[in-house]
Structure 1
């Protein structure tokens, strides 16, 4: 699958924000929701994890010593047992979700106590720029941007997370000139 020019660069920046959080989790068992067709994030953290599962409707299924990918469409329920993962990531995925509160509840369910939910999601300021880059210049994926349901600011992320019992935001930063959110949420 050929990607528009800017996609790999933006992905590398997102991955760079998240890798250090994962490195800090001893013997990490991680779920990457929306791992993408090439599961780049899971591949980049393989040396730091015990085991990783990636799910996406675009990924080709594979199974190696540490990484497994599952081709599936994200729907109402994650197909994993309660308290299965030390960390769950959603990198540039939340903006595509029709029922974000429900998915966040599912993430909480599959996280172990004290587990981390790590996400990146475009901020509201990013909308016009992303649309310009996709629709006018064609250097990011038009179909992906067209599928965005919502852009988030910190207050909206706080509201979404506070709607799900047992989760709290422990870190938030804007990056890419304030266009993107990086958020670490912990299950308690």
Structure 2
């Protein structure tokens, strides 16, 4: 396969997930924060999810040149006051943080009382581990050793329940390698 074809597939993969997340957070006028709004891959521009939505604010650990309100920050220390957002999204981010529990606490803190959190993350099943092992050694060398943690669907559900902060509203298993999880603040 050529790099051009591979990049087209990668871009489609990202934008298909964006569409699913957009459908889970539908309803304009909501105050939305996208955690990790930088470039998700070298073939997709920074701020691509916010641009796809057409609204929102973003944080990332690196400076981003985007046309939306932006702050440097990370998921374990979100640089906003509490109860500010109706929706928080984290697309392929939580697997890159050191402390998942702290990240969930921070999302909870910045969400309004009736807030929604939607995250996507790898599903650490056999299919994903096989795919990722091949990916890191071939086309996806840029991502080698960047996943600090990946969990199975069962482990994510246990962690979210144990946090006592969110009720799971919907889970989508995307391509067998990604989970899209919509949660409501409790």
Q: Shared topology, TM-score over 0.5? A: yes
When residues 98 and 168 of structure 1 are mapped into structure 2, their CA distance, relative to the original with a 3 A threshold, is same
Instruction: Check whether the contact 2:84–2:111 (CA below 8 A) recurs between aligned residues.
Output: yes
Q: Find the counterpart in structure 1 of residue 15 from structure 2.
A: 12
Instruction: Check whether the contact 2:73–2:79 (CA below 8 A) recurs between aligned residues.
Output: no
Q: Find the counterpart in structure 2 of residue 87 from structure 1.
A: 87
Give structure 2 stretches of 5+ with no counterpart.
Answer: 40-45
| Displacement after TM superposition at 1:9 (Å) | 2.8
Q: Find the counterpart in structure 1 of residue 52 from structure 2.
A: 44
Give structure 1 stretches of 5+ with no counterpart.
Answer: none
- 1:86-107 C-alpha deviation (Å, 9 max, x unpaired): 0000101111111010010000
- Matching of residues 6-155 of structure 1 within 5 Å: 6-23=9-26, 25-37=27-39, 38-46=46-54, 51-63=55-67, 67-70=68-71, 72-74=72-74, 76-125=76-125, 126-136=128-138, 138=139, 140=140, 142-155=141-154
- 1:82-140 C-alpha deviation (Å, 9 max, x unpaired): 1100000010111111101001000001001121100110111312202312312x1x3
How large is the RMSD of aligned CA atoms in angstroms? 2.2
Instruction: Check whether the contact 2:47–2:66 (CA below 8 A) recurs between aligned residues.
Output: no
Task: Indicate the structure with greater strand content.
Answer: 1
Q: Find the counterpart in structure 2 of residue 184 from structure 1.
A: 182
Paired with 2:145 and 2:73, the residues of 1 have a C-alpha distance of 18
Q: Find the counterpart in structure 2 of residue 160 from structure 1.
A: 159
When residues 26 and 8 of structure 1 are mapped into structure 2, their CA distance, relative to the original with a 3 A threshold, is closer
Paired with 1:170 and 1:85, the residues of 2 have a C-alpha distance of 18
TM-score by length of 2: 0.84
Matched residues, number? 174
| Displacement after TM superposition at 1:52 (Å) | 1.1
Instruction: Check whether the contact 1:80–1:110 (CA below 8 A) recurs between aligned residues.
Output: yes
